[in-house]
Amino acid sequence: MSRIPMLDERLRQVRSLISRRATEQGRIFHLTLRSVYRPEGIGILGCSDLAAGSIDEQQLAYVEPRQNSGAEPHWDLANGEYLLQFNETLVLAENELALIRPLDDLMASGGTHPIVCLGELSEAMLMPMLVSQSGIRIHQNARISLVTIVPI
């Protein structure tokens, strides 16, 4: 049976960690919201390396957070599709994967994103999110997802 790394060792794998809430084994971390974008054009998926599943930066509209006096910046998102950027990045060993799922609080508030399994979590990664008919208010740096490090 493989040794479970200690919490401090796991925390070194996570960059820009906002929420230090982690399990005692250090295998589960919260991911927090850095930026929100709205796709305004068509994504491109092709057979060449030049068009390998990308969205041109001109086709992404940055959604500016609202700043009320004395309050945390937040987004009031209407029904629709968005792309989220996390604060954290994650460096994994070759024999590990990151399983990312939406927090129950996000889903209860009217938002959701897919459950994904990744070999790394980079700054460039944008997570698609759907917002329900009623909309959602999300504060900047809010915990929105859980990442579980899974040995393979």
Give the model confidence (pLDDT) of 37-86 as tens digits.
999 877 766 666 555 556 666 688 999 999 987 788 999 999 999 999 99
pLDDT at 23: 41
Q: Residue 55: inside a domain, yes or no?
A: yes
Q: Is residue 1 part of a domain?
A: no
Please tell me the total count of domains within the chain.
Answer: 1
Residue 12 lies in a domain: yes
Is the predicted pLDDT of residue 114 greater than 50, yes or no? yes
pLDDT at 8: 47
pTM exceeding 0.75: yes
Cα 111 from Cα 32, distance rounded (Å): 14
Proportion of the chain above pLDDT 90, given as a percent: 53
Amino acid, res. 74: H
**Nearest Cα to Cα of residue 33 among 72, 85, 79, 83:** 85
Residue 132 lies in a domain: yes
pLDDT at 28: 82
pLDDT at residue 26 in the model: 58
Q: 105 lies in a domain?
A: yes
The phi and psi torsions of 52 (rounded to 5 degrees) equal -85, 85
Model pLDDT, residue 69: 79
Tally Cβ neighbours within 10 Å of residue 16: 12
* Position 134 confidence tier, pLDDT thresholds 50, 70, 90: very high
At 92, the amino acid letter reads L
pLDDT tens-digit map of 21-39: 544 345 788 999 999 999 9
* CA-based nearest residue to 14, from 28, 4, 33, 24: 28
Tell me if 130 is assigned to some domain.
yes
Residue 2 lies in a domain: no
Query: What is the domain range of residue 64?
Result: 7-151
The CATH number linked to 81 is 2.70.40.10
* Residue closest to 72 by CA, chosen among 22, 139, 133, 146: 139
Q: How far apart are CA 40 and CA 129, in angstroms?
A: 15
Task: Give the CA distances from residue 36 to residues 5, 115, 133, 140, 144, in Å, rounded to whole numbers and listed in that order.
Answer: 33, 18, 18, 9, 12
Q: Give me the pLDDT at residue 43, please.
A: 72
User: Residue 11 domain-assigned?
Assistant: yes
